[in-house]
């Protein structure tokens, strides 16, 4: 069984969209999305520097656009026929598009409003996120809570991401949990999936109220608890609430295993989730769709493992 997943914020790198825009029709499609949401996705995906695409209001729509664009280069979802879809954090909106809960236009419109709302929330207090490498998850979580930090991403494979104020993260860098080898700051502009994002929840709820979601046509796995979600209304409700609650990617991977996953493809800009899957899902074939050069290998994997 094939699982198709979309990465979250921090996966973006300068120029990563460039090769995808060379595919037939891609530039026109991205230009249409850009006009619709008032953001020049082609510019930010090809010419902007790391600081510019670190901006939450830019990074989030850029990632969703890249995910939809790269997946569509493989064919339509009926041809890809994944047994399950999921996304990490903002990647959940990309996954909602894969599952037919939102059309491409609605997905880009929602993520643009999400990015702006989260950027506004992040501006209230200087906050950030850092990944803990190594250590025991239970020990790390207890240590983070002692420091007033939130385990905002419990990613599995021994990785936890802490979120909180910059002062709290500075203390963490000097006072690591037992067994943690390194604390790595992430390329994000706020403490996402924590109480610091509460103001964004209200704004996103208002944006979601204007949408009419369809029920998923594919098995959709939610970050909230790793459960599959059967209705579009619940998918949308979870997308709104997830902004201020931890991502449980560990539970998503447990669900992939329970569903019988044999292959795992991460859409552009892939790599992060594949790395986690290699450690947590032994025996599952993985592929990161980084550039169009990876399309042939991805198609071979799809032919072998899709429903």
Surface-to-core class of residue 108, CB atoms within 10 Å of its CB (0-12 exposed, 13-18 middle, 19+ buried): buried
Task: Give the alpha-carbon dihedral of 70, 73, 79, 82, to 10 degrees.
Answer: -10
State both tokens at 91: 């990647």
Host H or E run for residue 206: helix 198-208
Asked if 231 and 250 count as a contact pair (C-beta separation under 8 A), the reply is no
3-state secondary structure 56-79: HHHHHHHHHHHHHHHHHCCCCHHH
Name residue, tokens 């909106």. 93
Could you list the active site residues?
Answer: 89, 193
CA distance 287 to 79: 18
CB 155 within 8 A of CB 93: no
């Amino acid at each position: 069984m094939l699982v198709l997943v979309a990465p979250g914020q921090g996966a973006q790198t300068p120029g990563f969209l460039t090769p995808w825009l060379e595919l037939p029709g891609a530039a026109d499609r991205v230009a249409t999305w850009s006009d619709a949401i008032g953001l020049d996705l082609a510019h930010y995906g090809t010419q902007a520097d790391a600081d510019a695409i670190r901006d939450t209001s830019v990074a989030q729509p850029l990632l969703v656009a890249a995910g939809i664009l790269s997946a569509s280069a493989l064919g339509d979802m009926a041809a890809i026929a994944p047994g399950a879809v999921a996304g990490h954090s903002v990647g959940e909106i990309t996954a909602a598009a894969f599952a037919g809960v939102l059309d491409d236009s609605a997905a880009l419109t929602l993520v643009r409003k999400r990015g702006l709302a989260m950027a506004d929330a992040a501006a209230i207090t200087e906050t950030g996120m850092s990944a803990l490498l190594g250590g025991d998850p239970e020990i790390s979580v207890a240590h983070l809570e002692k420091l007033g930090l939130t385990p905002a991403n419990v990613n599995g494979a021994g990785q936890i991401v802490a979120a909180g104020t910059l002062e709290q993260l500075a203390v963490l860098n000097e006072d690591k949990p037992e067994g943690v080898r390194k604390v790595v700051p992430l390329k994000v502009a706020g403490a996402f999936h924590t109480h610091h994002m509460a103001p964004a929840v209200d704004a996103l709820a208002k944006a979601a109220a204007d949408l009419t979601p369809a029920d998923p046509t594919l098995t959709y796995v939610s970050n909230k608890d790793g459960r599959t979600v059967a209705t579009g209304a619940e998918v949308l409700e979870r997308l709104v609430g997830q902004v201020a609650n931890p991502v449980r990617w560990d539970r998503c991977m447990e669900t992939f295993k329970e569903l019988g996953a044999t292959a795992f493809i991460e859409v552009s800009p892939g790599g992060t989730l594949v790395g986690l899957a290699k450690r947590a899902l032994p025996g599952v074939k993985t592929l990161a769709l980084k550039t169009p050069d990876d399309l042939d290998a991805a198609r071979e994997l799809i032919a072998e493992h899709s429903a």
